[in-house]
Amino acid sequence: MTITDVKIRRTFTEGRLKAIVSVTIDQLLAIHEIKVIQGPERLFIAMPSKKDGTVFRDIVHPISPEFRSILETTILQEYQKHMNGDSSESSSSGKTA
């Protein structure tokens, strides 16, 4: 499984939410509304979710810890490039799980 594209859709300067991101996997599946969030010690990603009563539940999420790590690392690298002005709106990354 290869992450073939990462798009930084929107960035925020205020609050913990830093960006909204879309990824494409194997040029076959797109996942939208992945959030980049500033935690107490580091940035992390939150998968798309919806409110179910009083709790939020992921709509889509990685099953394996290895793929979650690849996904998070790839997204955060592209976010940092975007914030540093080092990339265009989208970037093909080619990270494989």
pLDDT surpassing 50 at residue 90: no
∠ CA 29-33-38, rounded to 5°: 130
Tell me how far apart the alpha carbons of residues 75 and 87 are, in angstroms, rounded to a whole number. 13
All domains in the chain, ordered by first residue:
2-86 (3.30.1120.40)
Tell me how far apart the alpha carbons of residues 76 and 80 are, in angstroms, rounded to a whole number. 6
pLDDT at residue number 96: 65
Q: What would the pLDDT profile of 32-61 be if each residue is shown by its tens digit? A: 999 999 999 999 999 999 999 999 999 999
